[in-house]
Amino acid sequence: MIVLACLPPFRLSPGFFLQIIAGLFLGACGLRFLQTSIAGKGKIWDTLLHKVAIDPAAQCLDVGCGNGLVMFKLAAYVPHGQILGIDIWRAKDQSHNSQANLETAIATKNLSHLLQVQTADMRQMPFEANSFDLITASLAIHNIKSQAQRRKALQEITRVLKDTGELLIVDMAYKDKEYLGILKDLGFNHFTTYSAGHDGWWGGPWAPSFVLTAAR
């Protein structure tokens, strides 16, 4: 008490409180971003895959597979099928992901008979037309910066998807209307699209994720 009495009087400025509030806000945004990255996107795919009727013997393709999140989840739905993941493994789009790391994870989970990985660009895929029953894309297509090139990717996805197949997309950056327009041009006419909710917030509701399913 004596020490406090000896201290000179001071006032906390409004700017100080604003800095505290801003710091807390940014911290909360960072935590929300991490939650979406670590757990939220997985929950989104759990919900989506549970809603979709998937043939246990389906031939599946995951474009922009990254660390294999969607591939591993799909494995439970297609025990008699095949799941192929492709990526170009760009360092700027990855978080310590690589083909070698994913192949090691697949082997560790004893899923090498079901899951395969290949280096390929979704805009120019080395597959025959009508090859896959199901194609998934998780937070991948928006990484292509040009709209013309995103269209090219969706054209390639359409080419390798069977006429009876289904496309499942989870993405961000408000690209849902763009993708819908392109897919309609490409002959798709059965769609569902909805917000992924707070599990897909990249920091807050101003940076949401969306879910889009499409079939012909």
Residue 93 has pLDDT above 80, yes or no: no
Structure token pair of residue 171: 């993405």
**124 DSSP β-pair partners:** 121
CA of 13: how far to CAs of 8, 25, 27, 74, in Å?
A: 16, 19, 22, 55
**Interval 28-40: pLDDT, tens:** 668 667 777 787 8
Task: Return d(Cα 15, Cα 6) in angstroms, integer.
Answer: 26
Domain ranges of the chain: 50-215
Mean pLDDT to the nearest integer, 137-141: 97
How far apart CA 131 and CA 157 sit, in angstroms, is 10
The answer to whether 134 and 61 are in contact (CB under 8 A) is yes
Q: Select from 3.40.50.720, 3.40.50.150, 3.30.70.20, 3.40.30.10 the CATH code of 50-215.
A: 3.40.50.150
Query: Would you state the pLDDT for residue 5?
Result: 53
pLDDT exceeds cutoff 60 at 194: yes
pLDDT digits (tens, 9 = 90+) for 41-50: 999 999 999 9
- How is residue 135 written in tokens? 């194609």
